[in-house]
Amino acid sequence: MKLHTLITQYIVYRKSFGERFQTNERILKSFCHIVGTEIEVTNVGVEQVNSFLYSNGQITSSWHVKHNALLGFYRYVLSRGYATTSPLPTVKPKRPQPFVPYIYTQEELRRLLATVFTYQKNRGRLEPYMVHTLLLLLYGVGLRLSEAIGLTLSDVDLAQKLLTIRNTKFFKNRLVPIGTQLNETLMQYATWRKQQGYSQSSEAPFFVGRNGKLVNIYTIEGAFQCIRKQAGIERTDKATYQPRLHDLRHTFAVDRLTSWYQQGKDVQKLLPYLSVYLGHKYLAATSVYLTMTSELLQQASERFEHYVLKGEYL
């Protein structure tokens, strides 16, 4: 059977289980385009696969992402008898060091929020007050950026201090409670939003640009990088990427874990609650914060020990 036909069939099969499958679909279609749409699946050789995997000549995390996509496809092909052997390499190279998110300090967060009102040299498409509120929300409850800008007026129940996050990363909805202080911040923004004359329709976006329309995710991310640079926040660990907007979500999780340690809570028992709150599909996605932030957690442990022994925080 032709490679193109089988890849199309496999994509439909995976999506039938409710998976988005966007990344793997893109990879498999790219593989098919490079190898040839009319080639028989049994004629795809090791050299063609290696050429695709090593397209940039280096072993990066993308090598493993592409390999995993092909591995799933060929397992499907072999299990159904479309081929008897797989052209994938039998030995996988060592995976590069995983990307380490940036954890903002409280002082850096204050600088970011202050810089929001001064970073624009000229009037842009984003109102600084809206950006300020959005950053507070992203850090305050650890939302993904797409979840935050996807909020409509009906999703933000300020009377109940509750957010409804719809069609998340895993096609699910979830309810996110918010604290009193953050709720007051959102109420002030909602009042300002109304005074500006933006749509009060229940389906209107909660966060809007100056044109009153849904905020573009790339516009927000670009603005954040300008804010970060002007605030003088950058990595010093030789990492490839500078601090990102998405790192506010990681910072929220780390600060929550640190706070639990300070309070002497059983973090292992509370971790599933944090996982649900963040909208993670698997607990392992949340557990990574425990190993990622050992230094911070050690500091929290020391503060708590000091509190137990002397009755005061450091």
Those residues with Cβ within 8 angstroms of residue 280's Cβ, 6 or more apart along the chain or in another chain: 286
Residue 92 catalytic? no
Are the C-beta atoms of residues 138 and 245 closer than 8 Å to each other?
A: yes
- Where are the domains positioned within the chain? 3-79, 106-230, 247-310
Q: Tell me the backbone φ, ψ of residue 157, rounded to 5 degrees.
A: -95, 90
Residue with tokens 């309070």: 263
- Structure confidence at residue 181 as a pLDDT band (50, 70, 90): very high
Residue 185 has pLDDT above 80, yes or no: yes
Q: Point out the least confidently predicted range of 24-28, 37-41, 75-79, 270-274.
A: 270-274
For residues 168 and 276, the answer to whether their CB atoms sit within 8 Å is no
Instruction: Indicate which residue of 14, 29, 92, 144 is catalytic.
Output: 144
Q: Does position 295 have pLDDT exceeding 70, yes or no?
A: no
Q: What is the mean pLDDT of residues 97-102?
A: 76
The CATH number of 106-230 is which of 1.10.10.10, 3.40.50.1370, 3.40.50.720, 1.10.443.10?
A: 1.10.443.10
C-alpha span between 168 and 196 (Å, rounded) = 29
pLDDT tens digits for 200-210? 999 999 999 99
- Give the residue, 233 or 308, on which the prediction is more confident: 233
List the beta bridge partners of residue 162: 157, 177
- Counting residues of the chain whose pLDDT is more than 90, the rounded percentage is 60
Is the pLDDT score of 307 beyond 50? no
Instruction: Give every strand in the sheet of 156-157, ordered side by side.
Output: 156-157, 162-165, 174-177
Set 169, 213, 235, 265: catalytic member: 169
Range from 9-18, 81-90, 166-175, 284-293 carrying the lowest mean pLDDT: 284-293
Amino acid identity at 223? A
Active-site residue flag, 144: yes
> Which of the pair, 137 or 312, is modelled with greater confidence?
137
Q: What share of the chain is helix, strand, coil (3-state, %, to 5)?
A: 55, 5, 40
Mean pLDDT, rounded, of the chain: 86
Exposure on the CB side of residue 210, measured as CA atoms within 13 A: 8
Verdict on whether the full-model pTM lies above 0.75: no
Q: Read off the pLDDT of residues 239-294 as tens digits, 9 standing for 90 and up.
A: 778 999 999 998 988 888 888 877 877 877 887 888 877 877 666 666 666 555 55
> Which one has a higher pLDDT value, 238 or 215?
215
CA distance 114 to 107: 11
Asked whether the beta carbons of 238 and 100 are under 8 A apart, the reply is no
Tokens describing residue 87:
């052209």
239: part of which helix (H) or strand (E)?
none
274: number of Cβ within 10 Å: 20
